[in-house]
Structure 1
Amino acid sequence: MSARVLFCLSLSFTVAACDGSADAPVQGQRIALEDARGKVRAPLASPDTKDAAWTVASNGQAVQFGNPGAPPFLTLSCRIKENPPRIRIIRHTQARPGEKALFPVLGNGTIARFKVDATLADNEWRWEGAVPADDPLLEVFTGAREIEATLPGAGTLAIGGSRIPGEFIGWCRAGGVVREAVVEEQQAEAAEGAAE
C-alpha cells in the first residue's frame, strides 16, 4: 500500500469519526462583548498627603500615617506576643473580598514588595499583610527619607521622611523592651539630677 492510499484512508476515518453529531452544539449562543468582560473598577487617585504625618496610636502598639483628624492611609502595627514579633502592614483603601496584591514600597535605599490580602476589619475592607519584625524588607521604613508606597489601583502614597516608623520597628523587633529600657534610663537620669 502506498503512502498516498494510507493517507486517504486515515483521512476518511477521521472525517467519519467527526461525523457524530450527538456532541455538536444544537445552536450557537450569542453574548454581548460587554457581558463577557470582567467588571473593572476605575483606579483611585493618589491621596493628598502634603499635610499627613506619622503618629503613634493611643495603645502604643501601632503607628499611623494620615492627615490630622482623618482616618489613616497606612498603619504599621506590632504583634509583640507572637514569637517572633510580627509587623502588620495595613493600607486603608478599598479592597474586594478574595483579592491579593503586591504592595511595593520604595525609599531609604530599599525597594520592598509586601504580599497583602483583602481583609475585613474594623468595618472596612482593606489591604493587610504581615511579616516577621526582623524581615529585611522592613528596612524601607527605618530611614528618615521620603517613601513612596503604591498599591495597584489605589494610587501612590507620598510619605514624608520621619524617624517614627523606624523607631517603632526597632521597638517591635526588641519585643517592646526598648521602650521600657528608655523609661528606666530616663527615670535614673532624673533621680541622679535630683540628687545633685
Structure 2
Amino acid sequence: MPRFVALCALTLLAACKPPASDDYVTRTQIADERKAPSTPIASPDAEGATWATSPESGRLLYGKPGEMPLLSLGCEDGTLVYRRYVAADPDAKAVLALIGNGHVERLWIDAAQEGEAWLWRGTIAADDPRLDVLTGPRSVEATVPGAGSLRLNGSQRPAEFISRCAGEIIPPPIPEASPE
C-alpha cells in the first residue's frame, strides 16, 4: 500500500509540469534582443564628383558640387578621420574596403551619431602606410557592406591632405642618455 500511495503522489507531481514540446516557444515570452540590419542601399552615382576643401571645417570633401558630400577626410592632431555619408544602423561596426592604386586595404569603420543621424566614421594615424591606397593618381573603389560601393575619382588632393595631416604628428620625445 505505501508503494501505491508513493506512485500516486509521484504521478500527480509529474502532472503539474507539462513535458517538453515543439510549441514550447509559443508559451514563453521571447524578447527581441537583436534587430535585423537595414536593407542594403544601391551604390551612389559618383559621375562628376570631385575632391574639394571645405572652407568652414578644413575637411577634404568628395561629392558632386552643390550636393551633400559622399565621403570626407578630416585631420585631428595627426589622425585621419574618414566619414562615409550614408545612414548606418546605430552602434554598427564594419570594414571599409579600399581598392585602387595597386593596393587593397581594409579599415575599421563604425556607426557614429552626428546630430540626429548615424553615419559611418573611422580613424587611422595619418602616417599609416595603408593610406597609400588613397595617395595615388588613379581612382579608388570604397565599399562599406550594406552602404554601397563608391568610386573615388583619381586626384592628388587626398595625397596632399594626408601628407599635411601626417605632418601634424608630434614625434615621441627622445629619451635623454643616463649619466654614467
Q: Same fold (TM over 0.5)?
A: yes
Which residue in 2 is equivalent to 1:142?
Answer: 135
Give 1:1-196 correspondences, 5 Å limit.
Answer: 24-25=19-20, 28-30=24-26, 38-59=35-56, 61-80=58-77, 85-175=78-168
Shift in CA distance, 60/42, structure 1 to aligned 2, threshold 3 Å: closer
More RCO (CA 8 Å, sep 6+): 2
Q: Which secondary structure does the structure 2 equivalent of 1:41 belong to?
A: coil
Distance 1:115 1:24 in 2: 48
Distance 1:108 1:39 in 2: 35
Distance 1:71 1:123 in 2: 16
TM-score (norm 1): 0.69
Q: Structure 2: which amino acid aligns with 1:109?
A: G
**How far apart are residue 28 of structure 1 and its match?**
1.9
Distance 1:75 1:142 in 2: 14
Distance 1:123 1:55 in 2: 25
Distance 2:64 2:37 in 1: 29
* Per-residue CA distance 1:38-64 (angstroms, 9 max, x = gap): 534221010010111000111463101
Which contiguous aligned blocks of 4+ residues in structure 1 show a shift greater than 4 angstroms? 20-27
Q: Structure 1: which amino acid aligns with 2:25?
A: Q
Gaps of 5+ in 1: 1-19, 177-196
Gaps of 5+ in 2: 1-13, 170-180
Shift in CA distance, 118/23, structure 1 to aligned 2, threshold 3 Å: farther
Q: Which secondary structure does the structure 1 equivalent of 2:86 belong to?
A: coil
* Per-residue CA distance 1:18-47 (angstroms, 9 max, x = gap): xx786955972339xxx9x95342210100
**How far apart are residue 110 of structure 1 and its match?**
1.0
RMSD: 2.8
Q: Structure 2: which amino acid aligns with 1:28?
A: Y
TM-score (norm 2): 0.74
Q: Which secondary structure does the structure 2 equivalent of 1:93 belong to?
A: strand
Distance 2:130 2:115 in 1: 26
Q: Alignment length, in residue pairs?
A: 151
